[in-house]
Amino acid sequence: MKAAVLNQVGDDKLELRDDVTTTAPGPQEVRIKIKACGVCHSDLSAMDGTLPALAPGVIGHEGAGEVVEIGSAVTSLAVGDHVAITFVPPCGKCAQCVTGQAHLCLVHTLSAFTSPRFVVGGNPAFGYAGLGAFAEEMVVPADAAMKVDDDVPWEIAALLSCGILTGVGAVLNTAKVEPGSSVAVIGCGGVGIAVIQGARLAAAAKIVGVDPVVEKHEVAQRFGATHATTPEGVADLNNQLNGGMGFDYVFDVVGLSATIRQAWDLTRRGGHTVVVGAGRADAMVSFSAQELFLHDKTLHGSFYGTANFRRDVPRMIALWRQGRLDLEDMISKRIRLEDVNEGLQALRGGGSLIRQVILFD
C-alpha cells in the first residue's frame, strides 16, 4: 500500500512509498482503511523533532476511516464501521481514566514507542503518535477508534480527531470560559480557529485573534473573533478594550517561549493563561516568584483540549449538526496523498490556510 514515510527526524520532506504494509491486528486491535486525514502542525513538529517521533515512521494522526478487520477479542467495533481515531486512546481502567483524565492515559501511548505497526521495505516502522494516518491503512488499538454515524463526512470526522477537540476543548474543558468574559487567542491557525469557535460557543463577549499574518485576521473574525490584530498591536487593543488591565483568558496556540510569556502578560490579575501550542522540551519560560504570588493568575497546560474522546466527539458532532460549530469552512483545501509534501510546505508558509485534508478516495 501507499504511505508517506519519515526516514529520519529532521527531514523536511516525507518519502512516498508503495511497499508499505501493516502488521496483523492483535486480539484487541483493528485495521482501518483511512478515508481522510488532516494535515496538522503537529506533523511538522514530529518531523523537525519538536515532538517525539520515531523514524522510520509513517506520519499523520488526524484521521478517520472504515474498519476493515477486527481482532479476535474486539467487541466494541465491527467491520464496516465508520470511525474517528485518537492518538491518546483511553484504556478506561487506569488511574487517569477513572479519575476523569482520560486524555492523560499512557497505557496505549507508551506502546506507540515500542510496538512498530508498519513494515516499510521489509523493515519495521512506527506510526507517529501510535497512528500513522498518512497511509492507506493502519492498525491501532480498538480503544483508539470510535464509531460515528455513517452520514458524518470523512473529512469532518478527521478534524474531530485532533484539531477540534484540542481547540474547542481548551476553552470548554480546560479553561471553562465563562459567558461575557474577554478572551485573546495567540495564533490563528487551525487549532487557533477552533479555540476562537470555542470562545464563541462559550458566549465570550470579547474575542481577540492575534497573529502576525494579516491575512488570518479576516479568517479569525469570520469564525467568531470580535477583533483581530498583530502581536505588536495587541497592547493597544488591550488598552482600548480592557483599560490595559488584561484579558480574562489568554490562549497561546503557538508554543514558543515568547508567545507563552506574551500570553501571561496579557492576562489580567486573577485571570487564566492556557498553553495549547506544542513547544520544544528545551524551550524555557521564566516567571518571577513575586509575580506568581502577587498577580494570582492561573497557568494551565492544555493537552488535547483536556478532552474525553468518547464524550467529546459526540458532543462536537451535535454542535456541528446544530450549525453552532463550523467545520466545513475550516477545510481550506482537499488534497491527495501524493500532494502531502506540498501541503506540508503550504502549512509552513502560513497565509490564510486553516486546514488541509488528505482524501484517499
Whole-number Å distance between alpha carbons of 305 and 164? 9
Q: Supply the pLDDT for residue 162.
A: 95
Please report the DSSP string for 117-143 in residue order: -EEETTEEEEEGGGT--SBSEEEEEGG
Whole-number Å distance between alpha carbons of 64 and 133? 8
Please give the C-alpha separations between residue 150 and each of 66, 80, 82, in angstroms, as whole numbers: 10, 10, 6
Number of C-beta neighbours around residue 283 at 10 A: 12
- Residue from 186, 214, 345, 160 nearest 277 by CA: 186
- What's the pTM value of the predicted model, to 2 decimals? 0.96
SS3 of residue 205 by DSSP:
coil
Domain count, the chain: 2
Whole-number Å distance between alpha carbons of 219 and 248? 23
Looking at the fold, whether 71 and 155 belong to one and the same domain comes out as yes
**Angle 168-207-210 (CA atoms, 0-180°, nearest 5)?**
90
In a domain, 296, yes or no: yes
Looking at the fold, whether 147 and 42 belong to one and the same domain comes out as yes
Q: Is the Cβ–Cβ distance between 302 and 275 less than 8 Å?
A: yes
| Cross-strand partners of 119 | 21, 124
In a domain, 218, yes or no: yes
In a domain, 309, yes or no: no
Q: Supply the pLDDT for residue 307.
A: 96
Q: Supply the pLDDT for residue 349.
A: 86
Last residue of a domain, one of 258, 286, 302: 302
Looking at the fold, whether 204 and 253 belong to one and the same domain comes out as yes
Looking at the fold, whether 109 and 213 belong to one and the same domain comes out as no
Whole-number Å distance between alpha carbons of 168 and 177? 11
Q: Supply the pLDDT for residue 352.
A: 85
Looking at the fold, whether 183 and 155 belong to one and the same domain comes out as no
In a domain, 308, yes or no: no
The domain that contains 195 carries what CATH number?
A: 3.40.50.720
Whole-number Å distance between alpha carbons of 72 and 163? 32
Q: Supply the pLDDT for residue 112.
A: 83
Looking at the fold, whether 224 and 342 belong to one and the same domain comes out as no
Looking at the fold, whether 298 and 198 belong to one and the same domain comes out as yes
Whole-number Å distance between alpha carbons of 264 and 155? 35
In a domain, 334, yes or no: yes
In a domain, 311, yes or no: no
Q: What is the dihedral of CA 305, 78, 357, 169, to 10 degrees?
A: -10
- Give the containing element (helix H, strand E) for 358: strand 355-359
Looking at the fold, whether 151 and 195 belong to one and the same domain comes out as no
| Cross-strand partners of 274 | 251, 300
**CA 163 to chain centroid:** 3
Q: Which residues of the chain have pLDDT under 70?
A: none
Whole-number Å distance between alpha carbons of 230 and 209? 8
Q: Supply the pLDDT for residue 350.
A: 77
Q: Which domain holds residue 354?
A: 3-161+327-359
Q: Supply the pLDDT for residue 115.
A: 87
SS3 readout for 55-111: CCEECCCEEEEEEEEECCCCCCCCCCCEEEECCCCCCCCCHHHHCCCHHHCCHHHHH
